[in-house]
Structure 1
Amino acid sequence: MFFLDCNQSACSHDEIMEKMISPLQAVTNQIAATQNYCAGYNKYLNDFLIPLYVSTNYFRDVEMNKLTKASPMENFQSYMDLMSYNYELSNRSLIASMRVVSEYLKKELPLATEAFLNTLLNKEGENLESFTARQAEMAELVTKTYPKIISDIEPEYGFHFERGKNIKFAETDRFIVYQILPVDDKVKVREDGKPVLIIPPYVLGANILGFLPGENRSYTHCFANLGIPTYIRIMKDISSTPALQVMTCENDTLDTQFFCEKIKSRHGKPVTLNGYCQGGFMAVCNILSGKLDGLIDALITCVAPMDGTKSKGLKHFLASLPPRFRDLAYGTKTLPNGNKVGDGDLMGWVYKLKSIEVESPLVVFFRDMMMLSPKNGKTVKVSKTAAALNYWLRNERNDLPLSITEMSFASYTVPVTKDGTLPVKLFGQELNFKRIKEKGLKWLICYGKHDDLVETDTALAPLEYVDAEISAFPKGHVAIATSWSDPGSACALHTRFGPENYRGPVRFQLDLDIEIEQSRKKNEKSQVSSQKPEEPLNG
């Protein structure tokens, strides 16, 4: 079949044997590639389906209760609606999968044809052996090398409080507050500086805010590395902490009050409360309750969902779900001690379903494979940033107390009223955005321009009721914590950036401290002037 195009005078015996073996090597390469493709896709598929199997158990338990409380016709209609919903979801997944496979074939099929012709006609260029070798290498990268790179980044990723490099500052039954120290030992924390307390998201975990400290990519260390007294509230392990399992939103608020009291007492200045994502919404609710009055004077929220009903993607997703199944019970896990918590893995999976066009297992598999495809014959090097992001995506999902789950669910299903009242209460009282204006608190709202998790309208909802400063960061949901936490980046957090001269959160904090110091010096000067000794009386 193949033209060797050589004669006894032109080709050595070794060259002839090499040309004869080449097709066999191509077949061997293709078999290896196919095995790796199947193993790799199976892993991606399992990662996607495991939460489905878990949710099926929850679904069964809840439905065993509901079936007897509704009429047969109502049950039938609900299941027909659910089947229609699943059909629509599957259809979106299938279309997205076909699209990504088409893109892959469009890229690789011409190369395969060219390699076949080069081999058949003994022409220069990539032949079948080298083409299939590249395919085998690419498949091995996805299934073996890439997962190992992701696993190996763990020692560099996140805070690692067990190493004792940061100070355990305060503790309640539910949380621990650590003081985050500068990475460089030569940088000293300013004890008289204005402190910041960071509230991480519940589900996504705190480590995304301590991304890669050794690489100068850590949101929290951006504050600490400039000598700012920096504290972060860490949730205890919910699986072994009953007090956290049954925590109420009021407990959350009182714990934050306790921490702010201790921090303010230490540094002599009011605290800046800084919430990221879900932590931002919780921080706002804490403030609106009135329990933090006199303890804080400023607020920073980053990509925080302030009115979830303004989220077009998630709102449509929830609205499409038949009413019977819009129930948190379908995502509730019962622990061995009988306490119930929200299943963090399942909540992360719900966001995948919302974005099924980009999160379908086949789409993700081919996306990673094309990303790792050798370029110009050279193996692609996976950056630490990419490895750490994927480590976070694969490993960082926390269960959360039902009270917090219910609060988040309410914020995504019930809109803020026209007068600024939130759909949740604390201590039996309504919460209204306008209280922030009444208390004269300064508020910086940071959001991602291309955030598909917390969309722009969702993050900026408070602007309808109060004045706040905004900073729009390029990219998506975690870019502020990853890309822009690099001090050398275009939108570094300690700088002003962009044509609009936006302030990063660290710049905002530094400027607040400068204002406090200027005000203090001005007051001292006026006091000195008013205390000049009186002139002695004559006589």
Structure 2
Amino acid sequence: MTDEKQTGNKTGDLSEVIGDGAATLGNLLSAFQTHMAGITKYTTDFFIPYVLAVNYFQRVESTRLYKENPQDSKDAYMGLLENNLELMTRSLDGSTQMMLAYLQNEVDGFAEAAKQLLFDFNFSKMKTFTARQADLMNSVVNGYPEAIAAIEPEYGFHFERGEHAKVDETDRFLLYRIAPSLPNVETRQDAKPVLIIPPYVLGANILGFLPGEQRSYAHCFANQGIPTYIRILKPFDATPALQVMTGEEDALDTQRFCETILKSHGKPVTLNGYCQGGYNALCTLLSGRLDGLVDAFITCVSPMDGTRSKGLAHFLSRLPKRFNDLAYGTKILPNGNEVADGQLMGWVYKLKSIDQEIPAAMFFRDVLMFARSKPGAQKVNKTAAALNYWLQNDRSDLPMEITRISYIAYNTPITSDGCLPLGLFGGKLDLNRIKEKKIPWLICYGTHDDLVEKETALAPLDFIEAEVTPFPKGHVAIATSWSAPDSACALHTRFENGKYRGPVRFHMDLDDALTKKSSLGANTKSSKSVTTKAGKER
């Protein structure tokens, strides 16, 4: 009886071992297959712009190569090879670092499972470990894209829904007034208005990030009852006037919108540019077209002198001069208009940070995000999903002349007397004009911004005075993390013991000052009127 029982237990143990072993093998195969599918997808997404770049390069060089001096061409190509080898080295280093980080995160679990397997011939922990790996790979390759696609209804402004009033338009832009996202907030018609100029490359929706979660830069203003306006590009592919827009036309459209807003509210506008939008707004302001219309200025993470950039400017400086040319990123549309390829422009920023943006590094970074999440926690939070939706979808081609403005700003510094390295309407753009017009300027930057570094954003301080507010984190944190009203650096508050104020608080304080000034003026006028009447009676 005892022998039969023991035989039965051995048979049961053996069956369990075989079952666990088979499950472990199945998990390994599943994890490997999903991993390969993920790496393939990440690599494809990265190299599509590379194929575009090669096509543009071949198109330009097919004519330029035969016109250049052979020795100059040789030197240029050797310089390009050196630059490519440096990118390859950084790519390998970045990929290795992220894979090592992933392995370090998982090594304890693997060691425990391997120990049990080797010494006890028990597959249970190895089965659990491999099941975790299969689940991690599936989460990154399948679950993550599903979560990103699902966030679309909550992300951005969705002007097509009619929630925000269209106030004006030109051949190139639409002007919308942003409605508050909080139900009990009404826009104050007599309040000082703000006009937001979004970036061309990043798109406008990053400034309307997740309104339902109260994470939206534009809604931070609107939810304080501030008349909040935003300038929106018309559909690029269907708007030829936008495709060939010049810097002067950009300025004139902003002028028209400021006139419309001033007429509606009776108070001058606060002009607020984000990233590239801040530089274009500055150009318009310095051109004199906004005199009498704008009396305050806010810029957030805006590149004011790109030559001071440690990242992008350094990357551009390493390129042979011959290849640092917009021609290599020029796309010719079916109607013959030449524009800057937005997909390629975004890829340039990836090349700048190639050690972080190479496919293998990105893949294992995403795997680590899931691996480090707490048990039972939501696998993909809305912020991560919305950020990735933005990165994947909010890319548009750019007008060539607008791209040229940014190109000049990243290759030519502000002059020693404070003039921007370009002009509008045949005149200089002198920073000292801000001081002459007594326009208060708030400059906000990200302390860990590797796209528009502190030195790049604060360049005007070498020539004029401006208020400065640093925000923790990176390039879009002001529009995402700190747009939450209960965050540590909420935009409508003062923070760090009152040392700094957010852009919304800056605007609100200006509005309060205008209101007090108007009230004092009204009281003085009323007092004079009473005195005159009393004098007549006497």
Shorter-chain TM-score bucket reads: over 0.9
Match of 1:147 among 145, 148, 161: 145
Matching residue within 265, 270, 274 for 2:263: 265
Aligned residue in 1 for 2:170 = 172
Give the structure-1-normalised TM-score.
0.96
2:84 to 83, 86, 111: 86
- One-letter identity of the residue aligned with 1:261: E
TM-score, structure 2 normalization: 0.96
Work out the CA distance in 1 between the residues paired with 2:503 and 2:537: 56
Which residues in structure 2 correspond to 1:500-539 (within 5 Å)? 501-531=499-529, 532=531, 533-535=533-535
Deviation at 1:118, TM superposition (A): 0.9
| Residue range with higher mean Cα deviation, 215-224 or 352-361 | 352-361
In structure 1, the residue matched to 2:26 is 28
Of 77, 82, 99, which aligns to 1:101? 99
Instruction: Tell me which of 134, 137, 142 is aligned to 1:136.
Output: 134
Amino acid in structure 2 at the alignment position of 1:48: F
Paired with 1:249 and 1:536, the residues of 2 have a C-alpha distance of: 59
Per-residue deviation at 1:104? 2.1
Deviation string, structure 1 residues 143-188 (Cα, Å, up to 9, x no partner): 0001110111001000000111110110000000101011133211
Cα gap change, 1:353 to 1:258, in 2 (>3 Å)? same
Q: How do 1:163-202 residues align onto structure 2 when only pairs under 5 Å count?
A: 163-202=161-200
1:198-277 superposed matches below 5 A: 198-277=196-275
The size of the alignment, in residue pairs, is 533
Distance 1:376 1:435 in 2: 54
Q: Return the alpha-carbon distance in structure 2 between the equivalents of residues 13 and 61 of structure 1.
A: 71
Would the alpha carbon gap of residues 528 and 153 (structure 1) be closer, same or farther in structure 2, given more than 3 Å must change? same
SS in 2 for 1:144: helix
Deviation at 1:357, TM superposition (A): 1.4
Match of 2:452 among 454, 473, 482: 454
SS at match of 2:176: strand
Q: 1:92-491 counterparts in 2 under 5 A? A: 92-122=90-120, 127-373=125-371, 378=376, 381-491=379-489
Q: Aligned-pair distance for 1:18? A: 2.1
Residues in 1 aligned to 2:537 and 2:190: alpha-carbon distance in whole angstroms: 43
Taking the aligned partners of 1:74 and 1:338, their CA distance within structure 2 comes to 31
What is the CA deviation profile of residues 35-84 of structure 1, one whole-angstrom value per residue up to 9, with x for unaligned ones? 00000011111111110000111001110121121122222221111111
User: CA 1:376–1:129 in 2, change beyond 3 Å: closer, same or farther?
Assistant: farther
Q: Given the superposition, is the C-alpha separation of residues 38 and 250 from structure 1 closer, same or farther in structure 2, using an over 3 Å criterion? A: same
Q: In structure 2, do the counterparts of structure 1 residues 117 and 380 end up closer, same or farther at CA, with 3 Å as the change threshold? A: farther
Do the aligned partners of 2:24 and 2:123 also contact (CA within 8 Å) in 1? no
- Cα 1:379–1:268 change in 2 (3 A) is closer
CA 1:39–1:125 in structure 2 vs 1: closer, same or farther (change >3 Å)?
closer
Deviation of 1:405 after TM superposition, in Å, equals 0.4
Corresponding letter in the other structure for 1:207: N
CA distance in 2, matches of 1:113, 1:331: 50
Give the whole-Å Cα distance in 2 for the aligned partners of 1:235 and 1:456. 28
In the alignment, the residues of structure 2 paired with residue 120 and residue 304 of structure 1 have an alpha-carbon distance, to the nearest angstrom, of: 58
- Tell me the SS of whatever aligns to 1:467: coil
Amino acid at match of 2:279: F
Counterpart code for 2:535:
E
- State the shift of 1:500 in Å: 5.6
Identity percentage of aligned residues:
56
User: Do the aligned residues in 2 keep the contact of 1:372 with 1:379 (CA within 8 Å)?
Assistant: no
CA drift at 1:237 = 1.2
- CA–CA distance in 2 between the matches of 1:243 and 1:200? 19
Q: Distance in 1 between matches of 2:226 and 2:373?
A: 43
Distance 2:507 2:290 in 1: 18
Change beyond 3 A, Cα 1:315–1:11: same
| Contact 2:20–2:124 (8 Å) recurs in 1 | no
Give the Cα separation in 1 of the matches to 2:207 and 2:537: 66
8 Å Cα contact 1:306-1:462 kept in structure 2: yes
| Whole-angstrom distance in 1 between the partners of 2:5 and 2:272 | 78
Q: Does structure 1 conserve the Cα–Cα contact (< 8 Å) formed by 2:176 and 2:229?
A: yes
Q: Which structure 2 residue ranges, 5 or more long, are not aligned? A: none
Deviations 1:275-316 (A, max 9, x none): 000000011100000000000100010000011111111121
Contact kept? 1:213, 1:221, Cα under 8 Å: yes
**Partners of 1:275 and 1:301 within 8 A in 2:** yes
Secondary structure at 1:363's aligned position in 2?
A: helix
Q: Secondary structure at the match of 1:256?
A: helix
Which secondary structure does the structure 2 equivalent of 1:155 belong to?
Answer: coil
Cα deviations by residue, 1:9-58 (Å, 9 ceiling, x for unpaired): 78385554222211111111100000000000111111111100001110
Superposition deviation, residue 536 in structure 1: 5.0
- Partners of 1:373 and 1:379 within 8 A in 2: no
CA contact (8 A) 1:372 1:380 kept: no
Residues of 2 paired with 1:403 and 1:435: CA distance? 24
User: In the aligned structure 2, how far is the partner of 1:287 from the partner of 1:134?
Assistant: 56
Amino acid in the other structure paired with 1:488? D
Which one is further off, 19-28 or 202-211?
19-28
- Alpha-carbon deviations, 1:357-414, whole Å to 9, x = none? 1111111100000111165655652110111011111111111101110000000100
Q: Once the 2 structures are TM-superposed, how far is the Cα of residue 99 of structure 1 from its aligned partner?
A: 1.8
Residue identity matched to 2:451 = L
Who is 1:3 aligned against? none
- Tell whether the 8 Å contact from 2:168 to 2:176 is kept in structure 1 after alignment: yes
Distance 2:377 2:523 in 1: 65
Secondary structure (helix, strand or coil) at the match of 1:490 reads coil
In structure 2, relative to structure 1, the CA distance for the partners of 1:62 and 1:415 (3 Å cut) is same
Q: Please, what is the CA RMSD of the aligned residues?
A: 1.8
Which amino acid in the other structure matches residue 260 of structure 2?
Answer: K
Give the gaps of 5 or more residues in structure 1.
1-5
**Residues 134 and 374, structure 1, Cα contact 8 Å, conserved in 2:** no
Per mean C-alpha deviation after superposition, the further-off stretch among 331-340 and 307-316 is 307-316
